[in-house]
């Protein structure tokens, strides 16, 4: 079809998608150059040219490293805690019935209201960011682990038992493989939560992380470097999300086949 | 006989079991409260870290009775209403326009899904720079964050209506309006309502969040203000208050959603 009509490739959706993005950037460029006060917005050309300057600002590379470290630790802790609680609660029907409503209740609570408490208990350093990230990241992981354990067909458990599987073997060869797909979708949701939690805490108060620099650039009316920093962080978030999403697709393949 | 007996026993067993888990839940919550109380009275945890639950309860009643929350609540609810109004109308309209052609769906849906995956809270400093510390930056952020779930679910609702229904309605001579009113809308409404509820929830979180981070008024601001002046008991009381408000709003919206789904 593409060969038959030489102009058909112009109608490809991905091309139009790039066109939309280019148009948005062009609009931003024009708006920033001619309409908006340069105190508040700078054009994308200048923002991308200034990325170098952002990285050369004293403390910014260290702040980015610190934020990445907080994200990594918070994510690892969320996965470990979420998996442990999820298995402890999910594997016994009675525990599930008793504690799941509490987990759902806590998950539904607007955790942002207790952010000042986290700062109070864990200080204004990285610890409070990590703790707040964990508080956002672990609940989706608990929920999906429980859902994954719950969906195992009882017949598989019964037959493995009948064939003399020990508790550990039951877990290793029946429960664990069946949990994998939902576990990875839980990790994806957990990553979204960790990003939200850590960034919220960073923006709230920060002495050395990126929150310090976003405040600094805002107060100095330096939109060029602020936009540059936000662009770097957004790219970081997209890459982290993409890694977890790829892992999810990769590890849940066996289930759909 | 055996089948009959099992049938008779099952509901009963079920009930005792549910009673059991209810009492575990109650015991768990009670234990938390007792631990909290003991921590503040017997183990001498500083009242600057953890206030006495009785004090918190007293302050909570004080807040409710004196009505000092009204000003902050009004600010937050106004911001929420405006943000949701903007995102709901623009999300549904944009979503509807996109959903009218398969080509447009394939162009825009991945773009919106991609933007939805970025933590938009990152743009808060930028919004504060544009719109200032007042309500405008909160409204803008709440509207931006809740636009994407609403637009995406509108696209999903209108875009994937079974072609057979559309063709059949057209064959029976339906006008554009009739097609929209009696085929497209009833098919899409449940998905759109779910999207609106999700949008409402994230808008509420975004607004309380941005009030916490940088603001001049509102419930989030009040909590931060009390935290910074180390007035722990009123601060805990306000946290309870905000959590209760959020729970009430979410319940209300879920009820409206369920009602709207039955309405069609």
User: Do B40 and B78 fall within a single domain?
Assistant: no
| Residues B12 and B70 occupy one common structural domain | no
CA distances from A254 to A79, A249, B247 (A): 22, 10, 40
CA distance B118 to B58: 42
Pair (B30, B113) in one structural domain: no
- Least trusted range by pLDDT, from A225-229, B85-89, B91-95, B140-144: A225-229
Determine which of A14, A28, A105, A110 to mutate to test the interface with B (most B C-beta atoms within 10 Å): A110
Q: What is the pLDDT of residue B199?
A: 93
- Give B209 to chain A, closest Cα distance, Å: 6
CB contact under 8 A, B242 and A114: no
Does residue A137 sit in the same domain as residue A208? Answer: yes
In a domain? residue A45: no
Same domain? For A18 and A114 the reply is no
The sign one gets for the Cα dihedral B168, B174, B179, B181 is negative
The residue among A105, A112, A197 with the most chain B CBs within 10 A of its CB, best to mutate, is A112
Is B185 in the same domain as B153? yes
Average pLDDT over chain A, rounded to whole? 83
Same domain, B126 and B35: no
The complex scores an ipTM of 0.80
Output the pLDDT for position A5.
61
Nearest residue to A180 via CA among A159, A139, A152, A140: A152
And the tokens for A219?
Answer: 């107060």
Say if residues B87 and B146 touch (Cβ distance below 8 Å): yes
**How high is the pLDDT of residue B203?**
93
Confidence band (pLDDT; 50, 70, 90) for B142? very high
**A191: CATH:** 1.10.3720.10
Question: Residue B95 sits in a domain of what CATH number?
Answer: 1.10.3720.10
Domain that holds residue B6: 2-45
For the segment B206-215, what is each residue's pLDDT rounded down to a tens digit? 999 999 888 8
Among A58-67, A172-181, B73-82, B169-178, whose mean pLDDT is lowest?
Answer: A172-181
- Asked whether residue B173 carries a pLDDT value surpassing 50, the answer given is yes
- pLDDT tens digits for range B96-128: 999 888 888 888 888 888 888 788 888 888 888
**Do A75 and A175 belong together in one domain?**
yes
Q: Which residue has the tokens 């509108």?
A: B154
**Would you say B236 and B56 are in contact if contact means Cβ atoms under 8 Å apart?**
yes
Q: Based on the domain organization, do B116 and B21 belong to the same domain?
A: no
The number of domains in chain A is 2
Residues 49 through 88 of chain A touching chain B, CB cutoff 8 Å: none
Residues B122 and B37 in one domain: no
- Residue A215 is assigned to a structural domain of this protein: yes
Residue A8's region, left for phi above 0, alpha for psi from -120 to 50, else beta, is alpha
**In a shared domain, residues A63 and A90:** yes
Q: State the total domains in chain B.
A: 2
Half-sphere exposure of A10 (CA within 13 A, CB side): 3
- Residue A206 phi, psi dihedral angles, 5° rounding: -155, 140
Q: B83 vs chain A: nearest CA distance in angstroms?
A: 18
Give me the mean pLDDT over the A94-113 stretch.
83
In this prediction the pTM is 0.83
Do residues A125 and A20 share a domain? Answer: no
DSSP state of A111: G
- The whole-number pLDDT of residue B81 equals 94
pLDDT for residue A256 is more than 60: no
Domain contains B244: yes
Residue of chain B with shortest Cα separation from A196? B119
Q: What is residue B191's three-state secondary structure?
A: helix
Looking at the fold, whether A211 and A237 belong to one and the same domain comes out as: yes
Q: Say what the pLDDT of residue B11 is.
A: 53
The helix/strand/coil state of A45 is: helix
Residue B4 has pLDDT above 70, yes or no: no
B85 or A20, which is more confident: B85
Whether A12 and A73 map to the same domain: the answer is: no
The verdict on residue B111 lying in a domain is: yes
Please give the residue range of the domain that contains residue A116: 51-256
Same domain, B141 and B197: yes
The percent of residues above 90 in pLDDT, for chain B, comes to 20
Q: Determine whether the interchain pair B125/A109 forms a contact, defined as Cβ–Cβ distance below 8 Å.
A: no
Asked if A120's CB is within 8 angstroms of B227's CB, the reply is: yes
Is B126 within 8 Å of A215 when comparing Cβ atoms? no
Q: What is the pLDDT of residues B220-245, one digit of tens each?
A: 888 888 888 888 888 888 888 989 89
Cβ pair B167, B122 in contact under 8 A:
no
CA proximity to B161, closest of B96, B112, B258 = B96
């Amino acid at each position: 079809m593409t060969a038959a009509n030489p102009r058909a490739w112009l109608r490809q959706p991905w091309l139009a998608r790039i066109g939309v993005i280019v148009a948005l950037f062009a609009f931003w460029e024009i708006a920033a150059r001619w309409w908006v006060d340069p105190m508040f917005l700078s054009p994308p050309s200048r923002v991308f040219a200034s990325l170098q300057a952002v990285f050369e600002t004293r403390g910014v590379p260290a702040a980015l490293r610190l934020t990445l470290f907080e994200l990594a630790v918070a994510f690892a802790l969320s996965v470990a805690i979420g998996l442990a609680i999820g298995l402890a609660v999910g594997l016994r029907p009675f525990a599930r019935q008793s504690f799941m409503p509490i987990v759902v209740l806590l998950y539904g609570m607007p955790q942002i209201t207790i952010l000042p408490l986290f700062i109070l208990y864990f200080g204004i350093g990285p610890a409070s960011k990590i703790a707040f990230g964990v508080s956002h990241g672990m609940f989706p992981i608990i929920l999906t682990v429980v859902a994954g354990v719950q969906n195992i067909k009882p017949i598989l458990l019964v037959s493995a038992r009948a064939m003399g599987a020990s508790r550990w073997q039951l877990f290793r060869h029946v429960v664990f493989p069946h949990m994998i797909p939902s576990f990875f979708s839980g990790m994806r949701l957990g990553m979204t939560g960790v990003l939200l939690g850590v960034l919220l805490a960073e923006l709230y108060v920060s002495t050395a992380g990126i929150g310090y620099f976003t405040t600094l650039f805002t107060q100095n009316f330096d939109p060029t470097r602020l936009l540059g920093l936000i662009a770097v962080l957004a790219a970081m978030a997209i890459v982290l999300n993409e890694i977890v999403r790829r892992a999810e697709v990769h590890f849940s393949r066996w289930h759909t086949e | 006989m055996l089948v009959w007996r099992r049938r008779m026993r099952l509901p009963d067993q079920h009930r005792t079991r549910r009673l059991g888990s209810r009492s575990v839940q109650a015991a768990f919550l009670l234990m938390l409260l007792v631990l909290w109380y003991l921590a503040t009275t017997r183990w001498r945890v500083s009242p600057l870290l953890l206030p006495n639950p009785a004090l918190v309860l007293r302050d909570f009643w004080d807040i409710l009775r004196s009505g000092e929350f009204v000003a902050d609540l009004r600010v937050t609810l106004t911001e929420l209403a405006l943000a949701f109004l903007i995102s709901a109308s623009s999300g549904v309209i944009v979503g509807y326009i996109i959903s009218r052609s398969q080509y447009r769906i394939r162009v825009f849906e991945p773009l919106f899904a991609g933007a939805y995956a970025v933590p938009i809270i990152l743009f808060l400093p930028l919004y504060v720079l544009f719109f200032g510390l007042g309500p405008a930056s909160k409204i803008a952020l709440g509207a931006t964050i809740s636009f994407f779930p609403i637009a995406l679910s509108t696209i999903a609702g209108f875009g994937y209506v079974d072609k057979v229904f559309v063709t059949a309605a057209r064959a029976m001579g339906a006008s554009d309006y009739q097609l929209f009113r009696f085929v497209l809308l009833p098919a899409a409404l449940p998905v759109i309502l779910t999207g609106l509820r999700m949008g409402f929830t994230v808008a509420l979180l975004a607004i309380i969040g941005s009030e916490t981070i940088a603001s001049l008024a509102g419930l989030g601001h009040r909590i931060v203000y009390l935290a910074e002046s180390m007035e722990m008991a009123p601060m805990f009381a306000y946290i309870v208050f905000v959590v209760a408000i959020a729970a009430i709003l979410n319940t209300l919206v879920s009820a409206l959603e369920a009602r709207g789904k039955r309405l069609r």
